[in-house]
């Protein structure tokens, strides 16, 4: 599903025109991104959380020049689904139920 698909579904379900819906979706994504950039997690009850995960400092190898390099500790954005959401996906998705 793409952003355009999401906008179309929300627009049909709410009766709000697509341009307004697109502005809403874009605003939501911008707020989530800015919150994470500022170090603030976003919690959506019943859906999940957009959180920052810290990656530890590590040594990596550039195989093309056969040289080691240090990757400093850094944060990455991650999504953690709620237990309810995760349970429904696992229960209703036959691919995951093997």
pTM score of the predicted model: 0.75
Specify whether the CB–CB gap between 36 and 42 falls below 8 A. Answer: yes
Q: How many beta carbons lie within 10 A of that of residue 41, not counting itself?
A: 14
CATH code, domain carrying 83: 4.10.520.10
pLDDT given at position 96:
53
What is the reported pLDDT for 93?
A: 64
Q: Is residue 72 part of a domain?
A: yes
Handedness of CA 16, 17, 21, 24 (dihedral sign): negative
Check whether 2 has a pLDDT greater than 80: yes
Q: How many folded domains does the chain comprise?
A: 1
98 in any annotated domain: no
* Per-residue pLDDT tens over the stretch 23-72: 999 999 999 999 999 999 999 999 999 999 999 999 999 888 989 999 99
């Amino acid at each position: 599903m793409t952003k355009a698909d999401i906008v179309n579904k929300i627009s049909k379900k709410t009766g709000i025109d697509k341009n307004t819906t697109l502005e809403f979706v874009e605003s939501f994504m911008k707020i989530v991104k800015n919150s994470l950039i500022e170090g603030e997690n976003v919690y959506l009850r019943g859906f999940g959380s957009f959180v920052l995960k810290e990656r530890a400092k590590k040594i990596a190898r550039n195989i093309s020049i056969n040289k080691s390099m240090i990757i400093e500790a850094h944060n990455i954005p991650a999504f953690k689904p709620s237990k309810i959401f995760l349970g429904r996906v696992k229960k209703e998705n036959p691919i995951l139920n093997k």
